[in-house]
A and B are shown apart, each in its own frame.
Chain A
Amino acid sequence: MNDDSQHDPHAHLCSDHAGEGPTVWDLPVPLSLKQEWLRLETRRHFLGRTGKALAWAGLASILGRSLPTAFAGATSPAGLVPNFAPRAKRAIYLFMAGAPSQLETWDYKPGLASMFDQDLPESVRGGQVLTGMTSSQARLPVAPSPFGFKQYGKAGHWVSDLFPWTGKVADELTVIKSLYTEAINHEPAILQLTTGNMFSGKPSIGSWLSYGLGAVNDELPSFVVLTSKMPVTKNVQALSNRLWSSGFLSPEHAAVTLRPGGDPVLYLNNPEGVTRDVRRAMIDGVNAMNQDLFERVGDPEINARIAQYEMAFRMQTSVPELTDVSNEPSSTWDLYGEKAKERGTFAYNCLMARRLAERGVRFTQIFLRSWDTHGDLPGRIRLLAEDSDRPTYGLLTDLRRRGLLDDTLVIWGGEFGRTVYSQGGLKPDNFGRDHHPRCFSMWMAGAGMKPGLSYGETDDFSYNITRNPVHIRDLHATILHQFGLDHNKLTFKFQGLDQRLTGVLPAKVIHDLLA
């Protein structure tokens, strides 16, 4: 077939993909075959793999959009380039899954102390439909926080007694008290924060960054996820790779997860008797077969697979070097605490995040779960804070000392807020809080954020936002902005839309947050 077609003068007439990487149109086969292929391939993708978004990515690239629009028109010698000069080279996102209560953490409401067990005024609730977990409660009694708050630093952030260590670096923090979401349950809410959409199948922030900016260090993935051992194991929300998938983007933009126990990456070590050379030869063989398959069917997923084999091979040396903390000086343990020596703890993951940042990984997301305190809130949140407070301080301090915080964006927060009223029985030191999407708090630090700023306000019940609301879309637009990316320009054509992290609804960069 190829022999004939090489003499076919029309073999390339129909190709309008010059310079955009190989598609079937660039293969030396007759036009009629190409069209046949397109027809079959389209139908096969459509029928055979419906529901698997990656097939659409294949289609999208067949139809000529295999390059990210981020660098269409860029005159770069090296590929992916930000729209404008960035402030952040990398980010570390401390994701407090399960939703920490803003009332116990960053939204100090001293006025509530005198309102213990009083009913939440109907005017505050404003007829809001509650979740099934508290909608049948006879009363919605106000539960003041049992934890004291102190002002820290020059900026005077009010910091909960739960976070004495974080308080020491309060001046580094930009606290946002006015985030809101539409989601009232964990999975959609977490998805919305991690991927910009409540439905699964969209790329995560880290995938967008990898797609838009490429890697700094080719030896490691651009996007790494670390899940943490939990100090509390009640009301635990499942985590799944939906939260760090590449969605319709090419699979090499998905996160690589480092496991909290066992091998950090499964099957990373060669089995006994297999040397690195043997492994190399094996990968070369597999790649050659994949390349052959690619040349026959042109599916870009095959390219992604080849890339991942290569990445895995490189990670065989880069990951052991990454996770080997034996050379860390003793000052490291002073910062992060002794717990950082134990694999998989939040403290260990914070140390890993710093090591990843040093090595140029663009986006590291650490998940700490079980903040979903429907009952026994004071007891559980104390354990969670104890587990995470010092490592958080350690991470910020370490990044600052090493000169990394100037271009590393650190983000801390959960997926929504919690109610001011108690779920279930209310005692001064024992109560629960239900999900509350109308307001919640997060903080950011480093990489051009305005340190010491407290942004946005809620009413006296921390129920409704009274000043400067920030939607998750705005947060995402702001994060991308710090990476030098215009959230309206970082797009990928899929299902007839120029898809983007911030979706189709209006989103704005919150410039007031930026230094």
Chain B
Amino acid sequence: MRPPDDFAASEPDQPTQRGSRLVVVLLGLIVVGGLAAAPMVWPADGQDRSTLALFFGRFHPLILHFPIALLALVPVLEVGGLFSRGRHLWASVGFVLWLATFSSILATLLGWLLAWAGGYSGDLVNAHMWSGCTLSLTSMLAALLRRTLVTRGWWSPGFLYPPTLVAALALLGWTAHQGGQLTHGEKYLEEHMPAPLRAWLGLPPVEKRSKPATARKATAETAVEAARGSFATAEITFFEDRIMPAMDRTCVTCHNPNKVKGGLRMDTFAELMKGGDSGPTIVPGDAAASELYRRITLPHDDEEFMPSGGKKPLSADETRWIELWIEAGASEIAGLSAFGEAPPKPVVAEVVLQAPDYRDRIAVLQAWEKTWGLRLVPVSQTATDGLIVRTASAPSRCTDDALAALAPLADLIVDAELARTAVTDRGLAAIAAWTNLRRLDLTQTAVTSSGLSAIAPLTRLELLNLTATGVQEAGLESFRARTDLKLYVEHAPAGAR
């Protein structure tokens, strides 16, 4: 692949250089060794420490982007150099690779400072740190091997350079992913992953948010309580319904088995009650004395305020729930009914789809408009609010055939303004397929009672206007019986046009 003598000619292997290489290797080993030793001597244990260390540690999120970008650049340069026009790129690879190595070492060092001084602990933090160390080492190894390859050719340990580089890149991806999980939560990447990809990766299908809460209930304590028969009913507990969801959103991202900030986990009831480095988090029956309640009610700019780092604070209602819950004894099993005075859960406006999204069928829709000189108007800017068949400009053009031609759009129509159109019973047969129809205006049309029986199965219909039609009361029983349907049958304007 590479001509072995590419750079050898210009860089003869001189003793001085060998010496300097030895120094570099030694230095590197010391740094890496130190890095490896530090976590063992001073592990990240969830304690908050020196603010100066933390000050530097917080540069980790800045510096870490350098090894990512630089290391990712290396294969680009290597491949680019394969082409004759990009040959000059090879000259930079060594420099970039060393720069990547040093920035990686720096990022690892700062990351450890952040974890050690910033009160992080947990499996994921540790794993991330070790990946960082290994990455630094691998990157350095790749740099050395490349040097060897350039100076001594393929018949040397240099032939290990390509696999080492690939390994470094793989490690890079893995380490970065761990870092992302630490910052954004463990499911950050897979949360919105398309189902086929999930399946291919062997990930479980998306689980509902409420599932963990249910699983959580099955702790030893509840099992014992259940055995004692102290709660026989399957009432939803206040803790599960109100407290845990609030904490899931606000607290658990930093207080979980993988990222145990301040030595505190809040992902289960037991861990929450165990407390963290600051002592017990919750004093049952006394909200004011509970560390958790104190922290969440501090002024938002207070150093100790939780959630920290500008995350969205608990709402007033959530804070009140926690207060009531602690005051009532911080029970895991107390039912919702025991908290009658608690502010209710905000009602999440249910998004009701009136019809499927019309945008997929724009072409069909426009073709129909063009053919018949009538209009199909979206109800609103929400594409699932459905379409209105609008005929007011030219009602006479709206014939039974025009309605029949709407068949491919049948499920999109929620409102049909057919007053004064040429629609007859034959058109009603076409309308019978408009399953999402909510409003139908047939004012002054030639429809009859018998024709109307075709649209009786339209259960979503809310308004049916038969003003000034020939419809007889006799054919309307099925519509009259429906309490959710507004029916207008004013016959008076006989001759009106």
A403 at the interface (CB under 8 A from B): yes
A-B contact list, 17 entries, CB within 8 Å: A74-B378, A75-B359, A75-B383, A78-B369, A81-B377, A81-B378, A82-B380, A216-B390, A219-B392, A327-B496, A327-B497, A329-B494, A331-B492, A403-B465, A403-B486, A406-B463, A406-B486
A contact patch SS: loop
| Bound CA–CA A191/B103 (angstroms) | 68
Fill in one digit per residue for B58-100: 1 if any A CB lies within 8 Å of its CB, else 0. 0000000000000000000000000000000000000000000
Task: Report yes or no: B392 in contact with A360, Cβ–Cβ below 8 A.
Answer: yes
Task: Report yes or no: A327 in contact with B493, Cβ–Cβ below 8 A.
Answer: yes
| Bound CA–CA A327/B390 (angstroms) | 25
| CB closest residue in chain B, given A74 | B381
Known: A327-B496, A331-B492, A403-B467. A81 touches B380 (CB 8 A): yes
B376 at the interface (CB under 8 A from A): yes
Task: Report yes or no: A403 in contact with B393, Cβ–Cβ below 8 A.
Answer: no
Task: Report yes or no: A84 in contact with B392, Cβ–Cβ below 8 A.
Answer: no
A65 at the interface (CB under 8 A from B): no
For window 454-497 of B, CB contacts with A under 8 Å fall at 463, 465, 467, 486, 488, 490, 492-497
| Bound CA–CA A403/B443 (angstroms) | 9
Q: How far is the CB of A329 from chain B (nearest CB, A)?
A: 4
| Bound CA–CA A77/B389 (angstroms) | 13
Give B residues with C-beta under 8 Å from A. Answer: 354, 358-359, 362, 365-366, 369, 375-383, 385, 390, 392-394, 417, 419, 441, 443, 463, 465, 467, 486, 488, 490, 492-497
Residues of B within 8 A of A86 (CB): 379-380
Fill in one digit per residue for A478-497: 1 if any B CB lies within 8 Å of its CB, else 0. 00000010000000000000
| Bound CA–CA A484/B376 (angstroms) | 17
Residues of B within 8 A of A83 (CB): 380-381
Task: Report yes or no: A85 in contact with B380, Cβ–Cβ below 8 A.
Answer: yes
| CB closest residue in chain A, given B467 | A402
Task: Report yes or no: A82 in contact with B392, Cβ–Cβ below 8 A.
Answer: no
Residues of B within 8 A of A358 (CB): 419, 443
Q: How far is the CB of A296 from chain B (nearest CB, A)?
A: 31
Give A residues with C-beta under 8 Å from B. Answer: 73-78, 81-86, 215-219, 327-329, 331-332, 358-360, 401-403, 406, 484
| CB closest residue in chain B, given A216 | B392
Other CB < 8 Å A-B pairs besides A219-B392, A406-B463, 10 of them?
A76-B378, A77-B362, A77-B369, A77-B376, A81-B378, A84-B381, A328-B496, A329-B494, A402-B490, A403-B441
Residues of B within 8 A of A402 (CB): 443, 465, 467, 488, 490
Task: Report yes or no: A85 in contact with B385, Cβ–Cβ below 8 A.
Answer: yes
Task: Report yes or no: A329 in contact with B495, Cβ–Cβ below 8 A.
Answer: yes
Task: Report yes or no: A219 in contact with B496, Cβ–Cβ below 8 A.
Answer: no
Q: How far is the CB of A119 from chain B (nearest CB, A)?
A: 49
Q: How far is the CB of B226 from chain A (nearest CB, A)?
A: 45
Task: Report yes or no: B382 in contact with A217, Cβ–Cβ below 8 A.
Answer: no
Task: Report yes or no: A84 in contact with B380, Cβ–Cβ below 8 A.
Answer: yes
Residues of B within 8 A of A74 (CB): 378, 381
Q: Which residue of A218, A329, A359 contacts B492 across the interface (Cβ within 8 Å)?
A: A329
Known: A329-B495, A403-B463, A403-B465. A78 touches B380 (CB 8 A): no
| CB closest residue in chain B, given A70 | B381
| Bound CA–CA A402/B488 (angstroms) | 6
Q: How far is the CB of A159 from chain B (nearest CB, A)?
A: 25
| Bound CA–CA A406/B495 (angstroms) | 24
Residues of B within 8 A of A82 (CB): 379-381
Q: Which residue of B362, B366, B382, B488 contacts A403 across the interface (Cβ within 8 Å)?
A: B488
Residues of A within 8 A of B378 (CB): 74, 76-78, 81
Q: How far is the CB of B439 from chain A (nearest CB, A)?
A: 8
Known: A75-B359, A403-B443. A84 touches B382 (CB 8 A): yes
Residues of B within 8 A of A332 (CB): 492-493
| Bound CA–CA A83/B378 (angstroms) | 11
| Bound CA–CA A220/B201 (angstroms) | 61
Residues of B within 8 A of A359 (CB): 392
Task: Report yes or no: A401 in contact with B490, Cβ–Cβ below 8 A.
Answer: yes
| CB closest residue in chain A, given B414 | A85
Q: How far is the CB of A420 from chain B (nearest CB, A)?
A: 42
Q: How far is the CB of B471 from chain A (nearest CB, A)?
A: 13
User: Once A and B bind, how many residue pairs between them come within 8 Å at the CB atom?
Assistant: 91
| CB closest residue in chain A, given B487 | A403
| Bound CA–CA A328/B496 (angstroms) | 6
| Bound CA–CA A217/B394 (angstroms) | 8
Q: How far is the CB of B435 from chain A (nearest CB, A)?
A: 19
Residues of A within 8 A of B394 (CB): 219
Task: Report yes or no: B390 in contact with A77, Cβ–Cβ below 8 A.
Answer: no
Residues of A within 8 A of B493 (CB): 327-329, 331-332
Q: How far is the CB of A49 from chain B (nearest CB, A)?
A: 34
Residues of A within 8 A of B382 (CB): 84-85
Known: A84-B382, A402-B443. A78 touches B376 (CB 8 A): yes
| Bound CA–CA A402/B375 (angstroms) | 23
| Bound CA–CA A331/B486 (angstroms) | 22
Q: Which of B417, B441, B492 has the most A CB atoms < 10 Å from its CB?
A: B492
| Bound CA–CA A375/B378 (angstroms) | 52
| Bound CA–CA A76/B387 (angstroms) | 10
Q: How far is the CB of B457 from chain A (nearest CB, A)?
A: 21
Q: Which residue of B366, B392, B486, B496 contacts A329 across the interface (Cβ within 8 Å)?
A: B496
| CB closest residue in chain A, given B495 | A327
Q: How far is the CB of A455 from chain B (nearest CB, A)?
A: 24
Question: Nearest 10 CB-CB pairs, A to B?
Answer: A403-B488, A360-B392, A217-B392, A403-B465, A218-B393, A331-B492, A329-B492, A401-B490, A327-B496, A85-B380
| Bound CA–CA A259/B405 (angstroms) | 42
Residues of A within 8 A of B492 (CB): 329, 331-332
Residues of A within 8 A of B496 (CB): 327-329
Q: How far is the CB of B281 from chain A (nearest CB, A)?
A: 41
| Bound CA–CA A364/B393 (angstroms) | 17
Residues of B within 8 A of A403 (CB): 441, 443, 463, 465, 467, 486, 488, 490
Q: How far is the CB of B414 from chain A (nearest CB, A)?
A: 9
Q: How far is the CB of B363 from chain A (nearest CB, A)?
A: 9
| Bound CA–CA A328/B494 (angstroms) | 8
| Bound CA–CA A209/B463 (angstroms) | 25
| Bound CA–CA A299/B392 (angstroms) | 31
Residues of A within 8 A of B390 (CB): 216
| CB closest residue in chain A, given B358 | A77
| Bound CA–CA A422/B155 (angstroms) | 113
Known: A85-B382, A402-B488. A78 touches B392 (CB 8 A): no
Q: How far is the CB of A79 from chain B (nearest CB, A)?
A: 8
Residues of B within 8 A of A484 (CB): 380
| CB closest residue in chain A, given B362 | A77
| Bound CA–CA A73/B465 (angstroms) | 34
Q: Which of A78, A86, A217, A401 has the most B CB atoms < 10 Å from its CB?
A: A78
Q: How far is the CB of B230 from chain A (nearest CB, A)?
A: 45
Q: Which residue of A77, A85, A331, A360 contacts B379 across the interface (Cβ within 8 Å)?
A: A85
| CB closest residue in chain A, given B488 | A403
Known: A217-B393, A360-B392. A81 touches B381 (CB 8 A): yes
Residues of B within 8 A of A84 (CB): 380-382
Q: Which of A219, A329, A359 has the most B CB atoms < 10 Å from its CB?
A: A329
Residues of B within 8 A of A216 (CB): 390, 392-393, 417
Q: How far is the CB of A269 from chain B (nearest CB, A)?
A: 21
| Bound CA–CA A31/B188 (angstroms) | 51
| CB closest residue in chain A, given B366 | A77
Residues of A within 8 A of B383 (CB): 75
Q: How far is the CB of A384 from chain B (nearest CB, A)?
A: 29
Q: Which of B379, B486, B496 has the most A CB atoms < 10 Å from its CB?
A: B496
| Bound CA–CA A82/B388 (angstroms) | 12
Residues of A within 8 A of B463 (CB): 403, 406
| Bound CA–CA A327/B420 (angstroms) | 15
| CB closest residue in chain A, given B357 | A75
